[in-house]
Structure 1
Amino acid sequence: MTPNNPILPGFNPDPSIVRVGEDYYIATSTFEWYPGVQIHHSRDLVNWTLVARPLNRASQLDMRGNPDSCGVWAPDLTYANGRFHLIFTDVKRYGRTTVDGAKGASLRDFHNYWVSCDRIDGAWTDAVYLNSSGFDPALFHDEDGRSWLLNMLWDHRPDRKRFAGIVIQQMDMDTGRLLGERRRIFDGTPLGFTEGPHLYKRDGWYHLLVAEGGTERGHAVTMARSRDLFGPYEVHPDGPVLTARDTPDAPLQRTGHGDLVETPEGETWMAYLCGRPLPASNRCVLGRETAIQRMEWGADGWLRCAEPTPVATNPAPVEARDGFDGPALPAAFQWLRTPKPEYIFSLTERPGHLRLFGRETIGSHFEQALVARRQTAFRYDVRTLVDYEPEHFQQAAGIVAYYNSTKYHFLQITAGDAGEKLVQVLSVLPNGEGQSLMGPAVPAPAGPLELRAVVDHEALRFAFRAAGAAEWTWLPQDFDASILSDEATLAGLPNFTGAFVGMACQDMSGSGHPADFRYFHYVERLGDD
């Protein structure tokens, strides 16, 4: 068994893995993208299929107003008493910190919830509120039948260690009520940024796995163990059990935030997040992805990697030619924040088309009509056909290469002062305090237009043509695709997602003028390294 790493390419961070019989499931973070949490399924740890996004209604998740890279953090998926249990954080406020990150209070809002279901692809329960003391909650089901909620503890006070350790509290699995007092069981190691806890029981030991070192190039998986649930916990004598912090040339970087699963044959595997930097800019436009690696338990009872360094191979290129003939969006697509998709798009108002209603600007944190899929390779070619007749300059629709509200490139169809149809690029860049640039306006032919975006590593180019025409009109500029990454950022803002490409429609007049998209073809090109 040799998985192609990453097994979940593109933005799929913070994996939580569980086995139920012969079936493996991985849940990953979705942040501000809706519906919340992606769950993939496999029977062999090699081939994975998206089977559920369980947080799909307002009684479970409403992220309108959530800042960029907030929303759903680090879901934890477990199985107990015949049910799947999903614990997750909804981050409502992150807050811009000072440049050095050390001055002043750091006030943030992390709300933790629990949902459950007897089927992975079923209708999950309404969300039950648990606590708000920190993020990355996880469940541990002990051998005695009791269940425990863990999470990292956030300390907002000035001159304190923000990541203040791991706390635990008993949880009533019938009601979600937390019992007794929370107890801090682990302060972390000198690597700091102690988060992402998972707890396991093996040979009479409680093994605590945590993410440390921050989620960038210093990321790592650390383990500690204790004979007692509440500690004290002894740290692994070898230091981190998995990290790329000391191998800057390794193909997988940012390795950390892991979770363990055991096969029916008794093998132990770790699912963990990673990043693949662009060769020239060293930026991870694909975001934080999920990889997997075989582990071994030593004679001394400690876990170690079965291979000396993380293995990396190129996943097979994707070719997706999606139309909009069915009653639901194709599985690859998501939208932003709102639990009311009917307000931003329709698949029935014009059969065979995805109709986007012009809403707020793409940079809004509330309700914008933007439907997109993950970028999962360094090179891709996207084409779409849009039927759109803007009435004035406040209306625009088209194709967008998007990271968040502070960085995107939008090839838009809009109108000039005399109502003439134009094609123009709006680029929002993470420069200084933020920069919005409008490219030259190019006259566009009447009727439906095909739009095209081609990405080759750091370079993005746009083109358009009348529907059915043979030749493309290429815009002369090359746009910087590497800004669609965690590494390109405004100072102090969180960046934890990845690049998307999709369709958008905005109407700043408030009239909701719609755009109709006939198809969306996403094809990855060879030569990704």
Structure 2
Amino acid sequence: MTVLRNPVIRGFAPDPSMVRAGDWYYVATSSFEWFPTIPIHRSRDLAHWEYAGHVRGAAPGDSLAGVPDSGGIWAPSLSWDGERFWVVYSVVRSVGTPYFDLDTYVSTATDVAGEWTAPRRVAGHGFDPALFHHEDRLWLLNLQNDHRPGGRRFAGIVVTELDRGTLEPIGGTHLLLQHERLIEGPKMLYRDGWYVLVLAEGGTGFEHGVLVARSQNLTGPYELDDRPLLTTRDDPSVPLQKAGHAELVEAPDGQWVLSHLTARPLRTPHGPRCTLGRETAVQAVTWDAEGWPRLRHGGHHPAVEVDVTTPPQASPPVTREDPLGWPWSTLRRPPDPSWADTTSRPGWIRLRGRHGPESRWEHSLLARRITEHRAEAEVTVEARPSTFTQAAGLVLRYDAEAYLSLDLTWAEPEGEGQRGQQWRGEGRTVLSLVERDEGGTREVAVVEVGPGVPVTLGVTTDGADARFWYVRGGVRTPVGPPLDFSRLSDDHGSRLRFTGAVAGIHARDLVDASFTADFRGFRLTCTPE
């Protein structure tokens, strides 16, 4: 017996799609505007998970340039046909509009860490696609979106048969189910003569849940279970909130488990806020006498600790040779030696400054997911900024409207106002602490430092507080007051937000992209509660 502790994949790992292939379990999660595209983790015992690879080439042309924050790759669905892994997903290019403007793609591989086929576009009716393999036939499930004025953006679940070779539609599209509550994220399995449809219900926030429907015919009609399989919408005190977007998987011994997303909110004066984003959890499931799935521990709330019957087994290590590979992530494009260089100065990462931190195009940023409510990041940076258009430093980021950064940059001589660059070679090298939210950008503090010398920057987060510091004379020296880290969350502001907070290093040069900064010793330590 193994005891797993949820979330099993912690910090910004939403929309998990789990599949078993032999003795291994694999989970694919949404990556949105971030690279690597569609991270995949694996486990033998459901308790201990490791990064196993990602779907290389999932973004056509290896670019998501221009996609909005929380756009990009939504809700990949991973499946296994006995020989190959399949993944289907949508690239969403509009967020907060009725249209979504998305393209749906399919890719396959024999090994999740190996080569994936070039993505092939398939006809799709909305986001949250999934593939169902049954009796040598292939079916595409989809959310149906009705963009028309007065239409329902979540207008039901549809299914279309695809030719396994060409991926072209065969026959028509069938409407399986409509519901008065928002339903999305369809997953299908076949058990004991029933086609079982697992649905995300209520939206991906605190109203989220899992609803099950079934039919003896694939194309319906489907009957709904009279109660949810999983939800926390009725009890805000449950430690794992937002439970939903699930998938049922059978273990080798005939037991069943459920993967689902969840979140661990901070309790703030402004309400609950999920700085870690949505994460991946696993529950044990049984089937009742009437053939409906139920949480093994009873009720419909997710458990933090779960006994699973899969015995723990040693896993061969996953070989990684890329120094800028996982756990590093980048925005909208993979890292490129033209702006992220690890060879020019051994032991250092050299970033060439490009666009500013709110760009959707060319942002020089390397970041790692924050996985706990107590964390600390630290890095040493060496650079010679000569204009206010150049900067490099340490950043906590959610998206373009939610970040905190401590940057090495240039400022006018003390006492001289901001009138643009003076072009006299004068000025100071300073640390500038900036906070950004939907209300704009504010410089919180400025500290002068010596020009051209390495400086160690750091930040400590504890719940909703973020405290920046730098090392002077071997001593940590605070920069500015504590800042509100909870603004870097899914739940702050009025816009849709779907990712999670990260810590990283970045550089910018808004004039000619010639400025470079060298970083070494980046450390992100996350302390479990």
The reply to whether TM is greater than 0.5 is yes
Query: 1:34–1:56: 8 Å Cα contact kept in structure 2?
Result: no
Cα separation, 1, equivalents of 2:194 and 2:45: 28
- Are 1:159 and 2:150 an aligned pair? yes
CA distance in 2, matches of 1:95, 1:223: 28
Distance 1:49 1:340, change over 3 A: closer
Q: Is the 8 A contact 1:464 1:472 kept in 2?
A: yes
Q: How does 1:310-459 map to 2 (within 5 A)?
A: 310-312=302-304, 327-339=322-334, 341-417=336-412, 418-430=426-438, 434-446=439-451, 447-459=453-465
Aligned equivalents of 1:420, 1:60: Cα separation in 2: 42
Q: 1:326 to 1:145 in 2, by over 3 A?
A: closer
SS for the counterpart of 1:400 is: strand
Residue 421 of structure 2 is matched in structure 1 by: none
Is the contact between residue 342 and residue 350 of structure 2 (CA under 8 Å) also seen in structure 1? yes
Is residue 2:487 matched to residue 1:498? no
Cα gap change, 1:79 to 1:326, in 2 (>3 Å): closer
Q: Within 1, Cα distance between the matches of 2:94 and 2:339?
A: 24
Aligned counterparts of 1:275 and 1:354: Cα–Cα separation in 2: 33
Tell me whether 1:230 sits opposite 2:219 in the alignment: yes
Aligned length: 497
Residue number in structure 1 paired with 2:30? 29
2:244 maps to: 256
Counterpart of 1:294 in structure 2 is 284
From 104, 115, 120, give the equivalent of 2:112. 120
Structure 1, residues 396-444: CA drift from partner, whole Å, max 9, x if none? 11000000001000111100132320001121112xxx31111232101
User: Is this contact kept in 2: 1:148–1:169, CA < 8 A?
Assistant: yes
254 and 503 in structure 1: CA distance in 2 versus 1, 3 angstrom threshold = same
Distance 1:240 1:61, change over 3 A: farther
One-letter amino acid of the structure 2 residue matched with residue 169 of structure 1: T
Residue from 117, 121, 131 that aligns with 1:129: 121
1:304 aligns with 2:278: no
Q: Distance in 2 between matches of 1:130 and 1:114?
A: 7
Rate the CA distance shift 1:501–1:340 in 2: closer, same or farther, 3 A: closer
One-letter amino acid of the counterpart of residue 515, structure 2: H
Let me know the Cα RMSD of the aligned residues.
1.7
Distance 1:360 1:400 in 2: 15
Contact 1:225 1:235 in 2 (8 A): yes
Deviation at 1:172, TM superposition (A): 1.8
Find the partner of 1:111 among 103, 107, 114: 103
Shift of 1:120: 1.4
Residue aligning to 2:182: 193
Instruction: Confirm or deny: 8 A CA contact 2:54 2:112 kept in the other structure.
Output: no
Q: Is the 8 A contact 1:5 1:291 kept in 2?
A: yes
| Secondary structure of residue in 2 paired with 1:299 | coil
Contact 1:165–1:187 (8 Å) recurs in 2 = yes
Ranges in structure 1 where 5+ consecutive residues have no aligned partner: 97-105, 315-324
Aligned amino acid, residue 518 of structure 1: R
Q: Secondary structure at the match of 2:337?
A: helix
Q: Distance in 2 between matches of 1:326 and 1:304?
A: 43
1:465-476 → structure 2 map (5 Å cutoff): 465=471, 469-476=473-480
Q: Distance in 1 between matches of 2:6 and 2:110?
A: 30
Whole-angstrom CA distance in 1 between matches of 2:469 and 2:462: 14
Structure 2 gaps, min length 5: 307-319, 413-425
Q: Is the 8 A contact 1:327 1:348 kept in 2?
A: no
Measure the CA separation in 2 of the matches of 1:426 and 1:217: 31
Partner amino acid, structure 2, of 1:252: L
133-142 vs 416-425, which moves further = 416-425
Give the corresponding residue for 1:510. 512
Does 58-67 or 408-417 show the bigger shift? 58-67
Give the SS at the match of 1:200.
strand
Is contact 1:60-1:126 (8 Å) kept? no
Give me the whole-angstrom Cα distance separating, in 2, the residues matched to 1:483 and 1:360.
Answer: 23
**Does residue 481 in structure 1 map to residue 494 in structure 2?**
no
Q: Which moved more, 1:506-515 or 1:3-12?
A: 506-515
Describe the superposition over 1:262-287 as per-residue Cα deviations: whole angstroms up to 9, x where unpaired: 11111100000001111335211010
- 1:454-490 deviation digits (Å, cap 9, x = unpaired): 0010000111125xx411221131110000101112x
| TM-score of the aligned structures, taking structure 2 as reference length | 0.91
Question: Is 1:214 matched up with 2:203?
Answer: yes
Q: Give the secondary-structure state (helix, strand or coil) at the position aligned to 1:135.
A: coil
Distance (Å, rounded) in 1 between the aligned partners of 2:440 and 2:402: 9
In the TM superposition, what is the alpha-carbon distance from 1:180 to its structure 2 partner?
2.1
% identical equivalent positions: 38
In the alignment, is the contact (CA less than 8 A) between 2:444 and 2:480 conserved in 1? no
Letter in 2 for 1:274: T
CA distance in 1 between counterparts of 2:191 and 2:365 reads: 46
Q: Quick one: distance in 1 between partners of 2:58 and 2:258?
A: 31
Report the Cα offset of residue 57 of structure 1.
6.9
Equivalence for 1:202: 191
**In 1, are the aligned partners of 2:103 and 2:124 still within 8 Å (CA)?**
yes
In structure 1, give the amino acid aligned to 2:445: P
- Is 2:194–2:217's contact at 8 Å kept on the other side of the alignment? yes
Mapped to 2, the partners of 1:64 and 1:339 lie a distance apart of: 11
AA paired with 1:187?
Answer: Q
Deviates more, 1:60-69 or 1:259-268: 60-69
1:342 deviates by 3.1
Alpha-carbon displacement from aligned partner over 1:324-369 (angstroms, at most 9, x marks no partner): x974315211000024633431222322211111010111111100
Change (3 A) 1:249 1:179: same
State the AA in 1 paired with 2:454: P
Partners of 1:357 and 1:326 lie apart in 2 by 22
Q: For the residues of structure 1 that align with 2:502 and 2:57, how far apart are their CA atoms?
A: 20
- Structure 2 CA distance for aligned equivalents of residues 58 and 440 of structure 1: 39
CA contact (8 A) 2:380 2:455 kept: yes
Q: Is the 8 A contact 2:324 2:335 kept in 1?
A: no
Q: Does 1:463 align with 2:463?
A: no
Q: What are the Cα deviations for residues 298-328 of structure 1, in whole angstroms up to 9, with x where unaligned?
A: 11111111113311259xxxxxxxxxx9743
Structure 1: how far apart are the matches of 2:296 and 2:59? 43
Distance 1:340 1:376, change over 3 A: closer
Partners of 2:16 and 2:246 within 8 A in 1? yes
